[in-house]
Structure 1
Amino acid sequence: MNASKVPIITRRRGIAQYFIETLPNEVTLEMVSIPAGSFVMGAPESEEGSSDDERPQHEVTVSAFFFGKFQVTQAQWRAVATLPKVKQDLKSDPSRFKGENRPVEQISWYDAEEFCARLSEYTKREYRLPSEAEWEYGCRGMTSPPAPLLLGEGSKKIYPPFHFGETITPEHVNYNGEYPYGDAPKGLNRAETTDVGSFSANAFGLYDMHGNVWEWCGDDWHKNYEGAPTDGSIWLAENEQKDIKNNEGREIRKLLRGGSWILLARNCRSAYRNPYVARNLNHGNGFRVVCPLR
């Protein structure tokens, strides 16, 4: 391979602080401390594969919180599914690809919300889905002091598309390697999920923020960032109830982030946004949880 075509993968060392939540059946859930900070959310027009729904770029200030070190696993899902119902029933084993340490998938946004509600009742701590801003901030792995920014497009701050750097490879992320990004070569398509934590973590100590399974966020879908909150909060629609219909009327669309095992590298970018009907299931959709600091 031409040396100029070798993809550059950047790693930054960080010191992760965390706590461990004990679930039923001695299953554990590791939560990583994410420090407060500010970052520029979204992608510039110059970023390959970006679209207008990732703009306008805007500065967001995020409060400190705890984030799941891994995507919620099937073992964790099963443990919480045994807890008393809050609003709806949960299947104990919904996933297509079986494995205690593989991420749970084939769950709806409402299923993920029920998981958080049961977990909150059990632990007496608040658990919820991340906001889009919390998710992107956690994905990018903004260390303190912040990682160096690239400068471009006038005075705008531009981050690399991935927390690894300018691109990814299947050696670092579980995605469809037949569809690379930038100058990266084609690579392996595993065609299934992998155990969480199989690849390198970002500077915050979070694993699989790119690929493996999509991750549900708490926000409603908005077609761009016009009017988006700048405090890292969950952004809910007021009068934008949504344009997908079925026999039950209008559907609510929520946000998925991070890409998955089945998709192209460009769909795994830190800024990529995927609207998805909240009640729908897919073997590429999972989640991780947030525990806010109070």
Structure 2
Amino acid sequence: MNRLLLGLWWFLMIPFVVNGQQVSLQATGEGLSSEEAQQAALAELSFRIAANVESQIDSAQELRNEEFNQTASQRLSVTSELPILGSAIEITEKDGFYLATARLDAATSLPLYELKIDELTKELDDSWKIGTISDPIRAIPSLKAALPVLEELQLLRLIARYLGAKLPQLTITVTSINDRIKQLQQNPQTIEVAVQILADPWKNLEKVYVYPPVLRGSEEITEFAAVFRSRLASQLKEVSRPAQSKFLLRGDYLITGRGIDLTYRLQNWKGETLEAGSVQLAPAAYNGLEVKTSPKTNSKITSTTSVDPDSSHASLIDKPSKPEGPSSKPSWTDPVTGMEYRFILGGQFEMGDIFGEGNPDEKWVRNVVLDSYWVSTTEVNQQAWEEVMGKPASRNASSRYPVEVTLSEANRFLKKLNEISAGEEFRLITEAEWEYACREGGRKVRFGNGKDEISETESAYSKVPIQVVGNYAPNSFGLFDFSGNVSEWTADKYQKSYRDLPELNPLSQSGRGNVLRGGGIVNLLPGAEPKHIRCSARQQSRSSRDRFGLRIVRKNY
């Protein structure tokens, strides 16, 4: 009860022990009702007990014990609302105000404190016994449940000692409990234990959404990450969409020589991080999972899988200040078309005109989350088209020039490519995937070269004619021609705003025409400027027009 609101406070304070004799202690409070007055008196009594304890404890032998090793200010804050047992309450009323006197007498109260201490000591001992077993699934919750019991027990013992009781020193301490929890959490051998470690602090939260994790260091843990995310979500009160959530869990997984490091951050709906949890999973926990590491071979993750053990974690919300170089991105070459693909790690980014300088249809900046995917490093060229369709898309065009086709022609090409590529699946890139790759994983940059500036010597635009694919330097992901050359078909139908699309893997399936990305259409316009080829710039076109190219996405296995 707030003492200022109650408008009290005077008290009579008598030390508990005078010349070795136990005496009583009382405090007084007032309020607008008898309940308020009683609560005020008990609160004041608790506070004055703490003050009395504080005045004596610095000279006490117990100061060297763990129960009393806090600073004076810390101890006082902890004991300012001590549990009061067996106090006598007297209440009087005058002119609509109530006056309560709370009196604590050692002869009456001490037996109650000793009884409660015995009960809590047994509860603490039982929790500790369970916490010493080797099964972390049972041990960890028991140890965590022991911490509040120990806190309450210490407060009761504090009062009992100053009521004159002689109590043995506790052998179970906060340090011993936390050390045991840390020992059990270190390198758990099963997914179930790791899930419990991460889920336990958040299992009572309402409306949690668990985002697909960011994978660091190796694509090999893709399937493992999916299994872990599913089991983690099953332990929480999860909702199916981020928009329905009150809390968000964003995680990243890093495979190292020691195992898999898993880190999750709990955020509120504003994106503010509230808590973080992490666990390092031992290799034995995922040795048995069959995961695909390439389109043609399956392998198992083993403890010999090695990445720099000192590699740092990077989360969905903490983007690295420097982009990864092309050599750090896994690559794959399609044996049918000869086209190279780069693996794009999924994650979160702000899609749209983040610099406030674009057209109305890109002004709506929104949060988007993407799964990982593979994307072709270049636009489809004439040679790749001919390998699939049996003839080039255009006559008199060099084999390395990008094709210029209608949307229907692009879809026929992909259909046939899927038919002749056993075990593979290809499709058009979505608008969100295109912008994410153009901006090197959602970095806040304007152009496809990873910078905020671009020149005619870095990209095919303005007076420069369409060039062979890969003629200019790639971005840090090893991807070419995102700013300039031909505009590229995307899988999205055109809408003036993408604000109403899902946050996870958005795809517009209704609208007039399709979205183009890449800016190459400005080659035909007088006065073309670099702003037309920004990563967020959008164009609309009828599906029957045949002057646009395509970039392919390969399903992430």
Can you give the 5+ residue segments of structure 2 that lack an aligned partner in the other structure? 1-321
- SS of structure 1 residue aligned to 2:500: coil
Residue 556 (structure 2) pairs with residue 289 (structure 1):
no
Alignment map for 1:171-250 (pairs within 5 Å) = 171-176=457-462, 189-190=463-464, 192-237=465-510, 240=511, 242=512
Return closer, same or farther for 1:96/1:194 CA change in 2, 3 Å cut-off: farther
Q: Counting helix residues as a fraction of each chain, which structure ranks higher?
A: 2
Over aligned residue pairs, what C-alpha RMSD do you find?
2.0
Q: Which residue of 1 aligns with 2:387?
A: 79
Return closer, same or farther for 1:288/1:36 CA change in 2, 3 Å cut-off: same
Alignment map for 1:1-294 (pairs within 5 Å) = 13-14=325-326, 15-23=328-336, 27-44=337-354, 46-48=355-357, 50-82=358-390, 92-95=391-394, 98-105=397-404, 107-124=405-422, 125-142=424-441, 147=443, 159-164=444-449, 165-176=451-462, 189-190=463-464, 192-237=465-510, 240=511, 242=512, 253-260=513-520, 262=523, 264=528, 265-282=530-547, 285-294=548-557
TM-score w.r.t. structure 1 length? 0.73
1:223 and 1:267 mapped to 2: Cα distance?
17
2:330 and 2:366 mapped to 1: Cα distance?
28
Can you give the 5+ residue segments of structure 1 that lack an aligned partner in the other structure? 1-9, 83-91, 148-158, 177-188, 243-252
Give the structure, 1 or 2, with the largest relative contact order (CA under 8 Å, sep 6 or more).
1
Return the letter of the residue paired with 1:128. Answer: R
How far apart are 1:64 and its partner, in Å? 0.6
How far apart are 1:209 and its partner, in Å? 0.8
Q: Deviation digits for residues 170-218 of structure 1, max 9, x if unmatched?
A: 1110000xxxxxxxxxxxx22x211111111112111111111111000
Q: Deviation digits for residues 226-272 of structure 1, max 9, x if unmatched?
A: 202211232211xx4x3xxxxxxxxxx00110111715222211001
Q: Which residue of 2 aligns with 1:181?
A: none
1:39 and 1:202 mapped to 2: Cα distance?
18
Runs of 4+ aligned residues of structure 1 deviating over 4 Å after TM superposition are none
Return closer, same or farther for 1:116/1:99 CA change in 2, 3 Å cut-off: same
Return closer, same or farther for 1:76/1:167 CA change in 2, 3 Å cut-off: same
Return the letter of the residue paired with 2:549. Answer: G
- Is the Cα contact below 8 Å between 1:97 and 1:193 reproduced in 2? no
1:95 and 1:270 mapped to 2: Cα distance?
28
Aligned length: 228
2:343 and 2:546 mapped to 1: Cα distance?
30
Percentage of pairs with the same residue? 28
**Whose radius of gyration is greater, 1 or 2?**
2
1:276 and 1:266 mapped to 2: Cα distance?
19
Return closer, same or farther for 1:175/1:96 CA change in 2, 3 Å cut-off: farther
- Is the Cα contact below 8 Å between 2:461 and 2:485 reproduced in 1? yes
TM-score w.r.t. structure 2 length? 0.39
How far apart are 1:163 and its partner, in Å? 3.5
1:127 and 1:170 mapped to 2: Cα distance?
32
